[in-house]
Amino acid sequence: MEKILFVLIPFQKIAEMAHAHGALLLVDNSIMSPVLSQPLTLGADIVMHSATKFIAGHSDVLAGVLAVRGESLAKDLYFLQNAEGSGLAPFDCWICLRGIKTMALRVEKQQVLFQTFFQSLELVNFIL
Residues 67, 40: Cα–Cα separation, whole Å: 8
The verdict on pTM exceeding 0.75 is: yes
CA dist list (Å): 117 to 62, 73, 110, 111, 113? 29, 42, 10, 10, 6
Neighbours of 49 (CB within 10 A): 22
Percent of the chain with pLDDT over 70: 93
Q: Is the alpha carbon torsion for 17, 20, 22, 24 positive or negative?
A: positive
Instruction: Give the residue from 44, 43, 62, 42 showing the smallest Cα distance to 52.
Output: 62
Grouping H, G, I as helix, E, B as strand and the rest as coil, residue 109 is helix
45-85 pLDDT per residue, tens:
999 999 998 899 888 999 999 999 999 999 999 999 999 98
